[in-house]
Amino acid sequence: MTSVTQRIAQYNKQVGQPRGGLLPPKLFSLELRGDDLGVVDHKQENLHASVVGTMVDVLTRLAHVRPPADEVAHAEALIDVFGVSLAGAMRISELTEYTSAQSDARDALRHLNFIELSDGTVQFVIDDTAVMIACQLVSYDVALRAGVGLYDPANSRLLPDLTTTTHVLQMVERARSFFETHGPITRDGFVFADRDKWDTGDLGGYTDLVTSGDGDFLTTDTLWDFKVSASKPTKDHTLQVLMYFLMGKQSGLPEFESLTHIGLFNPRRGEVYRMAVANISAVVIETVRRDVIGYEDRTSGDEPLTPYDFDPEAVGFDRASGEFLWGNGD
């Protein structure tokens, strides 16, 4: 299985991008978000920057979902947000000695706070409790993204300190403000294939060179990638979001039809980078399509894993009973 980011690393090693990158970051327009926080200092945090970034991502998604106020819809919304974590926890329980991971993940979800709104929907509360729960849940992601052998149970017990919690909440608030300006969100946690057609051999936007990868957020005309980094965008970041755009268009899925722009949002720096794809050189587009993604060479190879787009049954949820069917016999 080769993800988008892994394919970029391969391409950089085998071929190499030109000076400045295939899509230089300087070509993007820059918007500074108006608050007084400046760059949120990752050096003061007690968790790895990648963990903090994933927490900001999932909590931003959680803040925007509005499921109906019934148990099944409530659970399905959580599965949409935490699908990678739940599937990772299931894999850990099935394949390692840490058999409680899946029931621990389920129990963590039960402690999320929410309020019922007057329109009959549910809004999840993004507070200190949500940050702690997200921290535990994203520790299971590695089992699905990289393999169960890399799972460390100590990471599931590591809690964010006060500074880290404050920083995460500040960045989620920045994301909320960002989507008030650039939203609404039309899709989040998306993949580049129709799961119903996957078993028939229709890979959508995936190829033999890129067999997995999932994006962050779509708005009406822009595909957005979140980068919770202390640094400015790199040539790999801009190549990644362009690959996502081209894979979305190749997929034939309706959610990608109206897209005309690509963008990067960094809630740590409070910066927005955006560009119209029509302004990108046709040579660059063709190079990325052919040489990086591999659309002209769709030869058969090892069957890729299903992309990370989870229906409830995929992580053990039974719609009829409204219960998760996984755990240690309970």
8 Å CB contact between 230 and 42: yes
- Percent of the residues in the chain that have a pLDDT greater than 70, as a whole number: 89
Q: pLDDT at position 123, please? A: 95
**Is pLDDT at 160 greater than 60 in this prediction?**
yes
Q: pLDDT at position 33, please? A: 81
Label residue 323 by pLDDT band (50, 70, 90): low
By the 10 Å C-beta count (0-12 exposed, 13-18 middle, 19+ buried), 79 is classed as: buried
The mean pLDDT of the chain is: 89
Whose tokens are 């599931």? That residue is 156
Q: pLDDT at position 311, please? A: 59
> Residues 177-203: what's their mean pLDDT?
87
Q: pLDDT at position 37, please? A: 84
**Is pLDDT at 174 greater than 50 in this prediction?**
yes
pLDDT tens figures, 58-101: 999 999 999 998 888 988 999 999 999 999 999 999 999 999 99
Distance (Å, whole) CA 288 – CA 23: 10
pLDDT tens figures, 90-149: 999 999 999 999 999 999 999 999 999 999 999 999 999 999 999 999 999 999 888 899
DSSP letters spanning 12-70: HHHT-PPTT-SS-GGGSEEEE---S--S--GGG-SS-HHHHHHHHHHHHHHHH---BSS
CA distances from 239 to 210, 228, 266, 311 (A): 14, 17, 16, 29
Q: pLDDT at position 260, please? A: 97
pLDDT tens figures, 292-308: 999 974 334 444 444 55
Q: pLDDT at position 8, please? A: 97
Label residue 202 by pLDDT band (50, 70, 90): confident
Label residue 29 by pLDDT band (50, 70, 90): very high
**Is pLDDT at 20 greater than 80 in this prediction?**
yes
Q: Which residues, 6+ apart, have CB-to-CB distance to 174 below 8 Å?
A: 33, 35, 37, 267, 270
- 59-68, 170-179, 251-260, 313-322: range with lowest mean pLDDT: 313-322
Label residue 201 by pLDDT band (50, 70, 90): confident
